[in-house]
Amino acid sequence: MTRIYLDNCCYNRPYDDQTQIKVAAETKAKLRIQRLVMDRKLELAVSFI
């Protein structure tokens, strides 16, 4: 299974101004990755730092 790491900044992306195309695209990608993790198609690597 592919293991991925998401930087802490991406967790707040859905709460940023979605009128900007780049922000909206990054939000969509983050939510897609989140769904793949929940469906156990990706494994999320975490760091406490």
pLDDT tens for the chain, 49 residues: list them: 899 999 888 999 999 999 999 999 999 999 999 999 999 999 999 887 7
Number of domain units in the chain: 1
**pLDDT value at residue 41:** 97
**pLDDT value at residue 28:** 97
Find where tokens 């009128």 sit.
19
Helices (H) and strands (E) in the chain, counts: 1, 2
Backbone φ, ψ for residue 2 (5° rounding): -75, 130
> Range of 7's domain?
2-45
Length of the chain: 49
CA distances from 37 to 2, 18, 20, 22 (A): 10, 23, 26, 23
